Amino acid sequence: MTADGPRLKIQREPRRQVDKQPAWFTVDDGMTRRTCFVLDVSPGGAKIVTDQVIDVRDRFKLALVPDHPKRQPCEVVWRRGKTYGLKFIP
CATH of the domain at 37: 2.40.10.220
Give pLDDT, residue 66: 74
Rounded CA gap, 16 and 35, in Å? 20
**Position 83 in a domain:** yes
**Position 11 in a domain:** no
Check pLDDT > 70 for residue 4: no
**Position 5 in a domain:** no
**Position 71 in a domain:** yes
Cβ–Cβ under 8 Å, residues 63 and 70: yes
Give pLDDT, residue 78: 94
Rounded CA gap, 88 and 83, in Å? 16
Q: Return the amino acid letter for 7.
A: R
3-state secondary structure of 72: strand
Cα 56 to its chain centre, rounded Å, is 11
**Position 31 in a domain:** yes
pTM, whole model, 2 decimals?
Answer: 0.75
Number of domains composing the chain: 1
Domain interval for residue 34: 16-88
**Position 23 in a domain:** yes
